[in-house]
Amino acid sequence: MSRRLPGAAGDGPTADLLRARRGGELSDLDRLLLHSPPVAEGWNALLGALRSGTTLAADLRELVVLRIAVLNDAAFEWAAHEPIARRAGLSGERLDALRRPDAGGPDGWTPVQAAVLAFTDASTRAVAVPDEVFAGVRGHLDDRQVVELTALVAGYAMVSRFLVALQVPPPPGEVPG
């Protein structure tokens, strides 16, 4: 669970909502959120929309999530999303590259992936996104996708900060390399 708080009971209508999005199981993150049902319900709706309601390609979505996990040292987030990223087509080599400080460089990434990584790095590290980085994303994404990318970066920054502040470790046996 968390090193700072115990998990809440996993019963009630809010827990059922979380279980439905997760395919029947509650994560340690869910059990922490259940201490505040209104927050858990809002979180569930937002993250559900970011994960399954956007038009962003799965590989781009997972690049964002994993890069934020690295930048904010959120091991739980990496462990939860690495298998999803592999299913989205990211190779072990690409996942290893995400761990490097210069991960957004052009080597090995498609142009849209490189632009999305540069945007993620800028927004996560400095909050403000320079005009040239924004222009790089605009060269590949339509208005809706720019909004979705921005919300995805912001949403998973929130997730990582929550996990790190409450010291939620990755599940046993799933410590990222």
Sign of CA dihedral 81, 85, 91, 95: negative
In a domain, 170, yes or no: no
- Cα separation, 136 vs 100, in Å, equals 21
- Find the mean pLDDT for residues 162-166: 96
pLDDT digits 0-9 by tens, 36-75: 999 999 999 999 999 999 999 999 999 999 999 999 999 9
pLDDT of residue 174: 46
Q: Hey, what amino acid is at 14?
A: T
Query: How does residue 134 score in pLDDT terms, banded at 50, 70 and 90?
Result: very high
Number of H helices, E strands in the chain: 9, 0
Q: Are residues 135 and 89 in the same domain?
A: yes
**Cα(first)–Cα(last) distance of the chain, in Å?**
20
> What's the domain range around 17?
13-52
Taking each helix axis from N to C terminus, what angle separates 143-165 and 131-138, rounded to the nearest 10 degrees?
120
Number of domains observed in the structure of the chain: 2
pLDDT digits 0-9 by tens, 73-84: 999 999 999 999
CATH number of the domain residue 77 falls in: 1.20.1290.10
DSSP 158: H
In a domain, 176, yes or no: no
Q: Are residues 131 and 81 in the same domain?
A: yes
Q: Are residues 88 and 39 in the same domain?
A: no
pTM: 0.92
Q: Are residues 105 and 33 in the same domain?
A: no
In a domain, 19, yes or no: yes
